[in-house]
Structure 1
């Protein structure tokens, strides 16, 4: 049989092991004594009163949580799937334990419902082009609701917007039509600039007939460089009549 002293030593060791806790730098301990909140302790060595006090650890580090894809109907009645990523951390450990059952699960569920409700207020074009504004609004709304839990939302980022196949085809056609419109505008602007330059050149040449003759000869020279061309040189009838008179 064990000696009573040995049994006493074992009991003391068990009590000591259960009473002494060590918390890391990023951890805090929420201590309850007989079910009532006492204090937030840590980091470092923590000594609890055996069987009277219980401690729950809370990490103060930022948590990165994926928000699973949510079915969202936009303001212009387009059904899309949107997922996001959430950055948050507990800044008041006592509230994170006392005010909500499981602040991880609660924050996750809140972010999903908020994502659906907020994105439903925007049209599809805004979802694709105004992500920074939407991210900021999501952060503000979720943060205001998690504040009573002692949870701070650092950032919310929309990761991906999954569009229906028919919507992707429609947007591709729209983008192609937009490119064609811009190409036509650029071509028209080019024609306008060319016509303006020709008008300016014609005014300059009309002021000096010699300039027209020089340009005429230059054109003939360019045509004559290709031997396959047949050049018809215009000659006035009055000149021909003068030749015959001679």
Structure 2
């Protein structure tokens, strides 16, 4: 067995996979990240350091699929990619397609990565830091906990939307900082970035919570659909997250009949009976 470590870098994995293919190393003989290894290739076999004689022709479309799927965190993260690469390099392109068992898992992972990128765009909440003249601190910070390694690529979304403002997104693993001109990515998020993003106070939070609670419509609540669009794992990092369980509870205990949030229904005024259009 050949045990490899690519440090979760697609570029490193690609070089390793190219070497393996050139020596016609079957996927069943390779594992990534299964154990701690002292060097790049941990095996009792005598392996050449140079590339082997086999030259594979790989379609560009496959490389794009593999790079996207490489952002997926899960079991067999890198081994599955090599198995797909092996089959395609030997003439079996069905490994790229959803109709194939292996291709289906590849496509599922790509969809999960794409969905997680959408979650970043939808659920990041930037908070403005107090303005300090001459400071090089970001003007806006955010904390996010993605399930997959999408921060670097997906955060490009905000470059064109935040103008030349300086902003930062910190996660438990990595972080990005936009200085007004370029986007900088740190694969190991600095502790000071994490502390800054997690400990900042939002001066507008009370206003936002008031708006959110007043616009909540229990008559239209479907918890399963809501969970599909707004997974509960994000609630703890959203300002409105602490309101959601209570609002759901109110809806389930009768407020769906009123079609109003509790505090709105309690306000004085004439009740308008429902009719048919």
Interval containing the TM-score (normalised by the shorter chain): under 0.3
Pick the structure with greater CA Rg.
Answer: 1
Pick the structure with more helix per residue. Answer: 1
Pick the structure with more strand per residue. Answer: 1
